[in-house]
């Protein structure tokens, strides 16, 4: 099997079950509808996994963009306050911008630190496996027409999970838990 990202020989192979989620808006508010899709096979190579790990540990890419964006918002807020003259409403807008910027900054940085801590707590082997899985989630399709696609990996850790944990981990609605669970289990025992 080849790497789903760069087509080199894959070092990590994944069999996954697709779950399609549709958010339906009705008078009662939002409602989630889920359907089980097909089993798919994906591969990720070592160099793509290593790149993903590096990008995740470094403060770069999307994280840096969010950071720059929040700094621009904070500066805008300061400029508004400095130029407000005597109108309070303009001052409020400035404070609003500054708070928004600080929140984005805080969210981005704390999320990154949390993930970094999680990764650093793993053994090198588990860490690169985790990065390969993250890379796969980046590479695999995320949308199918209107619905979002998520993936349940068919592997030992998944079939060993308690059903409740399985539901939470893969964000499943109660209606499909049973079916997803038995499909994943049957597929795992067939291939192992
Ligand atoms: Zn690759």
Domain boundaries, the chain: 12-50+135-191, 58-120
Q: Which of 55, 69, 2, 37 is nearest to 143 (CA)?
A: 37
Quick check: 91 pLDDT over 80? no
- Per-residue pLDDT at 11: 97
Average pLDDT over residues 64-78: 91
What is the pLDDT averaged over residues 24-34? 85
Neighbours of 164 (CB within 10 A): 9
Q: What spacing in Å lies between the alpha carbon of 115 and ligand 1's midpoint?
A: 22
**Ligand 1 midpoint to CA 175 (Å):** 36
User: What pLDDT, on the 0 to 100 scale, is given for residue 6?
Assistant: 95
| Distance in angstroms between the alpha carbons of the first and the last residue of the chain | 18
pLDDT band at 85 (very low <50, low <70, confident <90, very high): low
Cross-sheet strand order for the sheet of 12-26: 29-44, 12-26, 147-153, 143-144
pLDDT at residue number 48: 97
**What are the structure tokens assigned to 63, written together?**
């994280």
Instruction: Compute the distance from residue 8 Cα to the ligand 1 centre, in Å.
Output: 6
pLDDT grade for 61, boundaries at 50, 70 and 90: confident
pLDDT computed for residue 62 by the predictor? 82
Distance (angstroms) between ligand 1 centre and the Cα of 86 equals: 59
Of the given ranges (24-28, 173-177, 187-191), which has the lowest mean pLDDT?
24-28
Q: Would you say residue 86 has pLDDT above 90?
A: no
Q: What's the confidence (pLDDT) of residue 176?
A: 95
The Cα angle at residue 126 between residues 5 and 139, in degrees rounded to 5: 20
- Ramachandran quadrant class, 171 (left: phi over 0; alpha: psi -120 to 50; beta: rest): left
- Residue 141 CA to ligand 1 centre (angstroms): 16
Residue 155, classed as helix, strand or coil, is coil
Instruction: Please compute the mean of the pLDDT values over residues 17-38 and round it to a whole number.
Output: 90
Distance 45 CA to ligand 1 centre (A): 4
Global pTM reads: 0.79
Q: Which residues pair with 39 in a beta bridge?
A: 17
What is the chain's mean pLDDT, rounded?
Answer: 92
pLDDT above 90 (res 44): yes
CA of 50 to the centre of ligand 1 (A): 9
- In this predicted structure, what is the pLDDT of residue 25? 83
DSSP class of residue 3 equals -
Residue range 43-68: mean pLDDT, rounded: 91
């Amino acid at each position: 099997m080849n790497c789903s990202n760069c087509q080199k020989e894959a070092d990590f192979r994944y069999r996954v079950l697709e779950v399609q989620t549709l958010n339906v808006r009705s008078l009662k508010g939002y409602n989630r509808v889920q359907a089980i899709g097909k089993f798919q096979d994906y591969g990720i190579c070592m160099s793509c996994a290593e790149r993903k790990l590096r990008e995740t540990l470094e403060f770069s890419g999307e994280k840096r963009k969010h950071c720059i964006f929040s700094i621009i918002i904070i500066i805008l807020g300061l400029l508004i306050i400095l130029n407000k003259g005597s109108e309070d409403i303009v001052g409020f807008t400035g404070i609003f911008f500054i708070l928004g910027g600080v929140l984005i900054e805080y969210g981005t940085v704390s999320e990154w630190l949390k993930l970094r801590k999680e990764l650093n707590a793993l053994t090198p082997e588990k860490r690169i496996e985790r990065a390969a899985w993250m890379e796969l989630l980046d590479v695999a399709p995320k949308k199918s027409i209107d619905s979002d696609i998520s993936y349940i990996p068919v592997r030992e850790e998944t079939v060993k999970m308690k059903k409740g944990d399985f539901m939470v981990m893969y964000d499943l609605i109660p209606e499909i838990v049973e079916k997803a669970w038995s499909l994943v289990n049957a597929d795992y025992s067939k291939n192992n």
